[in-house]
Structure 1
Amino acid sequence: MCAVRSPREDYAPSRIAYRVNRLWLSPVFRVATLWLLPMAVIGGGAGLWASQPGSQELIQNVRMAVMARMRDQPDFQVKQMAVRGASPELTREIRRVLALEFPVSVIDLDLDAIRVKVSAFDAVQHVEAHIVLGGALMLDVTQRAPAVIWRNAGGLALLDEEGHRVALAERRDAAPELPLIAAAGAERAIPEALAIVAAAAPLRDRMRGLVRQGERRWDVALTGGQVIQLPETGAVEALERVLAMDEAGDLLGRDIRIIDMRNPARPTIRLGDEAFAYLKTLRGLEKG
């Protein structure tokens, strides 16, 4: 007679099976098991293979072969360079400094290095370098515009309206249309100098230039040795006052050497030699 198997008392799953089943119902666990874990295994294996010296040499050889093949492709050849926004003189200097020999592969062109070299020019305010369709290197240059010519201890230089050097000049007549400023510190007060020049438009034919005094204020130098000394603040207003006096009484047409406006409340003048001698004679006659 066969023994009768006793029935199982509990048909519920084990605790481990229950927890695994609950985890499998979680979307995060399923994604991690089905995707992230295989990807990590594959990535780890690929990284382990790539870390071997033989594998690295193989990768390097393949990369060099691909790069060499791309260099020979006509679509990757740059055949010429165009410079836009620069003067002919600046364009020639840019070509000379870059010294690029065309055709050249786009892979061998370092656009960042080209930007750095072109930006080093005094006359260049900003530059963009990019490759355009047709195989051309395009340089878009924003060139500084000279606003004044500055005479300093080192010679003559053209400056823009912000005081940045644009170029060197050998002679004053290299830019006769630009106002002349002189002395140390003048390059740091270009906006004020331009405002004074604009206010002195009625004296344009007689104006020789502006001289910075003590890096604090300006003197207006006129032909005939006349000088208008302006204050540290309110220079434009002081000059306009001198122009008003000149219009009313031909002040600048007289034998006056210096008009001192450093104290706008007490303007003073210094006579020329002839005017001073004449005044001295008049005073002698009055005493006699």
Structure 2
Amino acid sequence: MRQMTQRADPAPSRLTYRFERMMLTPLFRFALRVVLPFGLTALSAGIWFSDQDRRDNINMVIDDVRTSIVERPEFMVKAMAIEGASASVADDIREILPVDFPVSSFDLSLEDMKETVVGLSPVKAASLRVRPGGVLQITVAERTPVMLWRMRDGLHLVDAEGFVVAQAAGRDAYPELPVMAGEGADQATAEAMTLMRAAGPLTPRVRGLVRVGARRWDVVLDRGQRIMLPEVGAVAALEHVAALSQVHEMLERDLSVVDMRLGDRPTIRIAERSVQAWWRIRETRVGLE
């Protein structure tokens, strides 16, 4: 009797069938080929770096490599050069930027240093760069004072944008600059400069401008005279007074105030001494009669 040979079942096992079905899923293939190797690598690295001595050794190697790069001679900054700044401003810059030379250019934050320099009142703009040869170049554009602002603590220099540049040593130190006073005068510096240009023939007699109520200007002349300008149309009003003074010599008379706040026609106020003199003359005439 012949013995029957058993043939192997060609059908895959249940586990193999499920694995092949899962391999048809893109997400499973991605997890098997990417996520699993990455996770095993991260786990191995975490176990290896869990040792404090190994971490210290790695940090020392990294620090040595960084130091060997950043301290190369071509990256070292040895000096500071400042252009466009006055002596006092240059001294202030060196004081607020206490850089210990030599220093690596990698250790300098030029943007932060620029913000510090521009934070100085006299500085309008600044640029910083490291020149070849290891020189930190600081180029400064200073604010140009155009007015003197009289405050309670003294005179201050103000630029065309209304920024207070510095405190003035005294009026005699800046004889070419006009003087303004009053609350909020620094916020209307541009208008004040326009009024100074509009004064025309009155310019030699102008002693300053006073901001009244933070909304309008008074022009102060020599001999104690004052031109009260309106809140709107101040330039036109001042030009009108200058024309009247030039044609009719209005301001050559003994006036104390020319009020332009109520339209184009000026309202004048006679000086007190002239009023008293007029009353004396009148009383004398009455007595003679």
1:41 Cα offset (Å) = 3.2
Post-superposition shift, 1:49? 3.4
- Corresponding position: 1:114 with 2:116: no
Alignment of 1:100-179 (within 5 A): 100-179=99-178
Q: Secondary structure of the equivalent of 2:194?
A: helix
Post-superposition CA distance 1:168-205 (Å, at most 9, x none): 11111222222211133212221221221121132221
Q: Counterpart in 1 of 2:53? A: 54
Q: Which deviates more, 129-138 or 276-285?
A: 276-285
- CA spacing shift, 1:49–1:263, aligned 2, 3 Å: farther
Distance 1:30 1:117, change over 3 A: same
> Does residue 195 of the first structure (1) align with residue 194 of the second (2)?
yes
RMSD: 3.1
CA 1:61 to 1:186, structure 2 compared with 1: closer, same or farther past 3 Å? same
Gaps of 5+ in 2: none
1:242 counterpart residue number: 241
Consecutive unaligned residues of structure 1, counting only runs of 5 or more, are none
- Per the alignment, in what secondary structure is the counterpart of residue 231 of structure 2? coil
Query: Structure 1 residue 278: deviation in Å?
Result: 5.2
TM-score w.r.t. length of structure 1: 0.83
CA deviation digits over 1:114-157, x for unaligned, max 9?
A: 33432331111333333233322122333222221111001111
2:18 to 16, 21, 28: 16
Partner of 1:181: 180
1:44 to 1:157, Cα distance in 2 relative to 1, 3 A:
farther
Which residue identity lines up with residue 220 of structure 2 in the other structure?
A: A
Q: Deviations over 1:232-258 (max 9, x none)?
A: 222212212211221221111111111
Of 87-96 and 229-238, more deviation after overlay is shown by 87-96
Per-residue deviation at 1:272?
2.2
CA distance in 2, matches of 1:53, 1:6: 60
Moved more, 116-125 or 95-104: 95-104
Aligned partners of 1:147 and 1:70: how far apart in 2?
Answer: 49
AA partner of residue 161 (structure 1): A
Secondary structure, counterpart of 2:160 in structure 1: coil
SS at match of 1:238: helix
SS at the partner of 1:233?
coil
Taking the aligned partners of 1:6 and 1:72, their CA distance within structure 2 comes to 77
| Sequence identity percentage | 38
Which shows bigger deviation, 224-233 or 79-88?
79-88
Quote the Cα distance in structure 2 between the aligned partners of 1:39 and 1:8: 38
Instruction: Return the letter of the residue paired with 1:182.
Output: A
Q: In structure 2, how many angstroms separate the alpha carbons of the residues matched to 1:110 and 1:9? A: 72
Give, in angstroms, the shift of residue 279 of structure 1.
4.2
Give the corresponding residue for 1:270. 269
Comparing 137-146 with 215-224, greater Cα deviation is found at: 137-146
Deviation at 1:220, TM superposition (A): 0.6
| Higher mean C-alpha deviation, range 221-230 or range 116-125 | 116-125
SS in 2 for 1:263: coil
Q: Which amino acid aligns with 1:78?
A: V
Query: Number of paired residues?
Result: 285
Letter of the structure 2 residue corresponding to residue 198 of structure 1: R
Q: Which residue of structure 2 lines up, in the alignment, with residue 214 of structure 1?
A: 213
Cα displacement (A) at 1:51: 4.7
Q: Which one-letter code corresponds to 2:18 in the other structure?
A: I
Residue by residue over 1:55-79, the C-alpha shift from the partner in whole angstroms, topping out at 9 and shown as x without a partner, is 3322332233334434542122112
1:260 is displaced (CA, Å) by 1.3
Measured in 2, the distance between the counterparts of 1:30 and 1:9 equals: 26
Instruction: Name the amino acid aligned to 1:169.
Output: A
4+ residue runs over 6 A deviation = 9-14
TM-score by length of 2: 0.83
2:4 alignment partner in structure 1: 3
Cα pair distance change 1:17/1:46, threshold 3 Å: closer
Whether the 8 Å contact between 2:146 and 2:158 is mirrored in structure 1 is: yes
More off after superposition, 234-243 vs 115-124 = 115-124
Q: Which amino acid aligns with 2:241?
A: V
**For the residues of structure 2 that align with 1:139 and 1:49, how far apart are their CA atoms?**
48
Structure 1, residues 248-286: CA drift from partner, whole Å, max 9, x if none?
A: 211111111111122225531111245334544676659
